[in-house]
Structure 1
């Protein structure tokens, strides 16, 4: 499943980021493979808001679509 398919409240671990430019963009947001985060909000036609620790960030749909995640329990 990709990050843009997650729903509010779901907790996930980032498994892969499919291309070097997308990986670099994600790292700028503090997101890397193996990181655990939660989906806060998915804005219709807009970004996915993710919470990692105490930080919230809005990732554009194009970037979110390139990030593969695995859902985890609570």
Structure 2
């Protein structure tokens, strides 16, 4: 599943970041493979607000489509 498919309130683990550009952008905000993040808000066809530790960031929809995630049980 990709990050653009997560639901509000769902916690996921970043599994794979497909493109180099997406990887660099995500790393700027401390997100890499293995990172646990929570979807705080999701706007249809718009950004996804993620929380990691006590920081919130907005990930654009096109970038979210390039990030594969695993759901938390």
TM-score (norm. length: structure 1): 0.94
- What SS is found at the alignment partner of 1:31? coil
In structure 1, what is the Cα distance between the partners aligned to 2:57 and 2:64?
A: 12
- Structure 1 position 58, deviation (Å): 0.4
1:4 counterpart residue number: 4
| Structure 1 portions without partners, runs of 5+ | none
In structure 2, what is the Cα distance between the partners aligned to 1:56 and 1:27?
A: 14
How many pairs does the alignment contain? 73
TM-score (norm. length: structure 2): 0.95
- Runs of 4 or more above 2 Å deviation: none
- Aligned 1:1-74 pairs, distance under 5 A: 1-73=1-73
Q: CA RMSD in A?
A: 0.8
| Structure 2 portions without partners, runs of 5+ | none
Give CA deviations for 1:19-49 in whole Å, capped at 9, x if unaligned: 1111001111211010001011111221000
